Amino acid sequence: MSTKSKGVLQMTTLSQDRAPILEALKQFKRMRVVPFDVPGHKRGKGSPELTEFLGEKCMTVDVNSMKPLDNLCHPVSVIKEAEELAADAFGARHAFFMVNGTTSAVQAMVLSACKRGEKIILPRNVHRSVINALIIGGAVPVYVNPMMDQRLGIALGMSLADVKRAIEENPDAKAVLVNNPTYYGICSNIREITKLAHAHGMLLLADEAHGTHFYFGKNLPVAAMAAGADMASVSMHKSGGSLTQSSFLLVGERVHEGYVRQVINLTQTTSGSYLLLSSLDISRKNLAINGEQIFDKVAFLAEYAREEINEIGDYYAYSRELINGDTIFDFDITKLSVNTLDLGLAGIEVYDILRDEYDIQVEFGDIGNILAYISVGDRERDLERLVSALSEIRRRYKRDRAGMLRHEYISPKVVATPQDAFYADKESLPIGESAGRICSEFVMCYPPGIPILAPGEQITREILDYIVYAKEKGCSLTGPEDMDIERINVLKGV
């Protein structure tokens, strides 16, 4: 059987209509095994309320690793076969099943590529999981500050010229990391960045938390593996339909998969959930067989909603018209990203109104945008309800936009490495008195989880104004030890 993943054609005898983990679990259920192992609920009998809530079918397959079901840390049978099918479907040399979320996939990717003191070139508008990996492993970031879209107030992709300059100035860097795409749907020129990285002996890593569908849909941006990337973290649960917290880590020919598995096993659980594993297996099968049709529908729904929202007035649901061939090399048309600034409302305010007054939950709202995540389970009537609600919000809440902040991203001044700053001696200050000091913790709006401040960065008055504004607008700020974000930890004596 031949399978095709965004331009990567592989001749193989693997059959994508199989789901080995699912098949093994079904066989296990038929065996009626008496459990004297963990988990302690013993197929649900020990926790009636939980079984009533989740269902007996769910509880009977919440099981531990055993010979018939293989072992995630060292797969030799059904999980190994499922990994081979996933690699085939995604056009990778190997695929790892990840059950600690895409966070663990991103961290394993960075930790595999870079050791302590080694450099990695990356955009600053990365998810906190990337910077967490730098704290854990001690790699040194070389940030490529992205350009800004002044109208939308969002960070864009990396300019090819900026990446080239960073590589030439840091020839000892071990890897380049690319967001493919950003939360908003913006894509850098990953194919050319990959060529640049490889020409200088560097690995290309892709955070594809929001790009699962690139591997299966038509007329979408190029997927990382098809672009020649060496590793990609793919959040299958976001647009691929698997259970929350389940993801894939894909690797290519230039990466030693045995070493990557060792790195994964440093942090990933030894008690892999078979609910999550089977959801990855089943969802991979579904996308391999039906993905093109599924994402045709998703793209249609997103475009339909975009057109309707732009007819309302004051909202701007943006798409491929933004493409400039460089910092916006391509755009993910399945992303329904909507700018709200002309309405006189911050994105987070629209987000709150949609949830509190219309029972509509969008993915996130920030200073100037909302994102409605459209995927395999959406229906046209759901989009109609969203459009109708946005129209009513404009009629009821529109106001003058004077005094609104425009920018979602502020370029940082990096003074120390994330690891050095995070573990250094620190002191706590009232946040309003911290300007000029060096931050030793994170501050971010979640979602999307892109740090406003990261360990090792200088706190500026502009950043403090942004934090105050975000709090006033109702953004969910996370990161510091002080849960109220009234105080912040800074490097002692610096």
State which amino acid sits at residue 88: D
Contacts of 229 (CB under 8 A, 6+ apart): 178, 190, 194, 204, 205, 206, 252
Helix residue ranges per DSSP H, 313-458 = 347-358, 380-397, 418-423
- Residues 102-108, mean pLDDT to the nearest whole number: 97
pLDDT at 325: 97
What are the tokens at 323?
């493409």
Render pLDDT for 2-23 as a digit per residue (tens, 0 to 9): 344 444 444 447 899 999 999 9
pLDDT at 375: 87
Q: Does the pLDDT value for residue 341 go beyond 90?
A: yes
CATH number of 418-491: 3.40.50.720, 3.90.100.10, 3.40.50.300, 3.30.70.1140? Answer: 3.90.100.10
Cis peptide before 447, with omega less than 30 degrees from 0?
yes
CA–CA dist 122, 178 (Å, integer)? 6
Render pLDDT for 258-306 as a digit per residue (tens, 0 to 9): 999 999 999 999 999 999 999 999 999 999 999 999 999 999 999 999 9
pLDDT at 171: 98
pLDDT at 405: 79
Tell how many helices (H) and how many strands (E) occur in the chain.
Answer: 15, 22
Render pLDDT for 347-388 as a digit per residue (tens, 0 to 9): 999 999 999 999 999 999 999 999 999 987 899 999 999 999
pLDDT at 197: 98
Give exposure, 117-138, as e/b (b: 16+ Cβ within 10 Å).
eebbbbbbbbbbbbbbbbbbbb
Render pLDDT for 402-432 as a digit per residue (tens, 0 to 9): 888 776 678 889 999 999 999 999 999 999 9
CA–CA dist 103, 330 (Å, integer)? 25
Q: What are the sequence ranges of the domains in the chain?
A: 2-289, 291-397, 418-491
* Average pLDDT for the chain: 94
Among residues of the chain, what percentage have pLDDT more than 70? 97
Q: Does the pLDDT value for residue 188 go beyond 50?
A: yes
Check: CATH 3.90.1150.10 for 291-397?
yes
Topology of domain 2-289 in CATH is Aspartate Aminotransferase; domain 2 (3.40.640)
